């Protein structure tokens, strides 16, 4: 069971110094991992679906995974994080990162990955919600639908984040946006342990991003991207359940990723494609195909994210307007997606 509030003793200087330590540890360890990946042949070799032109080391995301999991364990052992919170975050995070890194190494079956993702989601929801909300919930009750929706949200976030990790710097930048702002909301709500862990992740991902910035010298791989997708869903659900931070606020700052991934997936299903196979149909990929270099795509997405963050911050301060701001956000994302469709159609007419 996850406690609704946490007391944490953090000296401001220690707080900032620890974030800098995580940044520089990540920066240095990613460089070491890059040499290791070259030596072991852990490379992403370009193919017809790739957006890069030369073999590039992958799996570097495991550096910020290990650093962040270590931060959770350290914070827990110091007594600054409840056991329920550690159990909510650690098992699922380890499972998702582990199966993702295994896929980086051995190209595992999608069925095995899906099974592990489902188990990770079940564990997380068990410690977050099911025990608290209604231990005897019945199928098709509102509490049951909420639990099932949470499981689906976690599994989908794991996969969509992985889908969207296809151009230099994009996934790392998205994680920094989401966890920077989400950490601020959690801090304001009194969830200091969660806020600190969110900002630790920002620091560790930022260290990786130095190496992943266009032109990327290493990719995070499925282990890192799946892990980030899991944590975004987990933090958003915890914020909603424990501290009344509306989940639509998280959806707003996460909008570029889930909107592009969801709309593109639905279009592929409706077109009768094998939707579970790799492809280059996402809006951000089509921008690159239209001649936009990685850096330009990254800056464009960063501009959209800045607008979404501004809208989400205003909506958080004006909760009565939140449904309308969320609707406007969906319209904004739809217009942006439509503009890319005109520039580079997903299904060009012959």
pLDDT tier at 135, thresholds 50, 70, 90: very low
pLDDT on residue 310: 98
Residues 98 and 241 in one domain: yes
CB 97 within 8 A of CB 223: yes
Residues 217 and 252 in one domain: no
pLDDT by residue (tens digit) across 98-130? 999 999 999 899 999 999 999 999 999 999 875
Asked which of 245, 273, 298 is the last residue of a domain, the reply is 245
Cβ-in-10-Å burial (0-12, 13-18, 19+) of 105 comes to middle
Q: Compare 277 and 34 and report the one with higher pLDDT.
A: 34
Residues 260 and 236 in one domain: no
Average pLDDT, the chain: 90
Looking at the predicted structure, is the pLDDT value of residue 11 above 80?
Answer: no
pLDDT on residue 44: 86
Mapped onto helix, strand or coil, the DSSP state of residue 43 is strand
Name the residue among 15, 71, 87, 55 with its Cα closest to residue 218: 55
Residues 272 and 181 in one domain: no
pLDDT tier at 136, thresholds 50, 70, 90: very low
CB 290 within 8 A of CB 343: yes
- Residue 253 to residues 53, 196, 330, 343, Cα–Cα distance (Å): 31, 19, 11, 25
Binding residues for Mg(2+): 162, 222
Q: How many residues does the chain have?
A: 350
pLDDT tier at 318, thresholds 50, 70, 90: very high
Please indicate, yes or no, whether the overall pTM of this predicted structure exceeds 0.85.
yes
Q: Which two tokens stand for residue 296?
A: 């330009």
Looking at the predicted structure, is the pLDDT value of residue 70 above 80?
Answer: yes
Looking at the predicted structure, is the pLDDT value of residue 210 above 80?
Answer: yes
pLDDT on residue 1: 47
Cβ-in-10-Å burial (0-12, 13-18, 19+) of 277 comes to exposed
Q: Compare 266 and 147 and report the one with higher pLDDT.
A: 266
Looking at the predicted structure, is the pLDDT value of residue 46 above 60?
Answer: yes
Asked which of 193, 213, 245 is the last residue of a domain, the reply is 245
Structural domain boundaries, residue 337: 246-350
Binding residues: 162, 222
Residues 182 and 218 in one domain: yes
**Among positive and negative, which fits the CA dihedral 308, 314, 319, 320?**
negative
Residues 337 and 240 in one domain: no
The residue to which tokens 């190494």 are assigned: 105
Give the count of domains, the chain.
Answer: 2
Question: Stretch 209-233: mean pLDDT, rounded?
Answer: 97
- CA 293, CA 72: separation in Å to the nearest integer? 37
Residues 260 and 185 in one domain: no
Residues 95 and 214 in one domain: yes
Residues 251 and 237 in one domain: no
């Amino acid at each position: 069971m996850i406690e609704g509030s946490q007391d944490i003793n953090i000296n401001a200087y220690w707080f900032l110094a620890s974030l800098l330590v995580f940044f520089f540890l990540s920066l240095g360890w990613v460089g070491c991992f890059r040499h290791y990946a070259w030596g072991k042949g852990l490379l992403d070799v370009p193919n017809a679906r790739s957006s890069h032109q030369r073999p590039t080391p992958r799996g570097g995301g495991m550096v910020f995974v290990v650093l962040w999991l270590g931060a959770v364990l350290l914070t827990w052992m110091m007594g600054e994080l409840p056991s329920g919170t550690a159990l909510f975050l650690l098992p699922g995070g380890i499972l998702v990162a582990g199966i993702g890194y295994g896929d980086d190494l051995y190209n595992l079956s999608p069925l095995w990955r899906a099974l592990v993702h489902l188990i990770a989601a079940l564990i997380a929801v068990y410690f977050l919600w099911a025990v608290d909300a209604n231990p005897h919930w019945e199928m098709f009750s509102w509490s049951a639908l909420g639990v099932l929706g949470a499981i689906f949200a976690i599994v989908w976030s794991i996969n969509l984040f992985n889908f969207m990790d296809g151009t230099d710097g994009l996934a790392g930048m998205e994680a920094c946006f989401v966890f920077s702002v989400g950490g601020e909301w959690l801090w304001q709500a009194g969830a200091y342990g969660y806020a600190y862990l969110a900002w630790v992740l920002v620091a560790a991902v930022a260290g990786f991003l130095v190496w992943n910035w266009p032109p990327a010298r290493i990719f995070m791989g499925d282990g890192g991207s799946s892990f980030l997708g899991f944590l975004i869903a987990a933090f958003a659900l915890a914020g909603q359940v424990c501290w009344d931070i509306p989940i639509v606020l998280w959806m707003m700052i996460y909008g570029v990723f889930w909107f592009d991934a969801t709309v593109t997936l639905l279009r592929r299903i409706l077109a009768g494609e094998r939707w579970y196979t790799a492809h280059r149909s996402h809006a951000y990929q089509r921008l690159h195909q239209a001649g936009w270099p990685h850096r330009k795509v990254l800056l464009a997405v960063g501009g959209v994210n800045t607008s979404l963050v501004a809208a989400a911050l205003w909506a958080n301060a004006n909760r009565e307007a939140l449904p309308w701001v969320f609707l406007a956000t969906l319209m904004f994302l739809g217009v942006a997606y439509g503009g890319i469709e005109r520039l580079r159609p997903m299904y060009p007419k012959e």
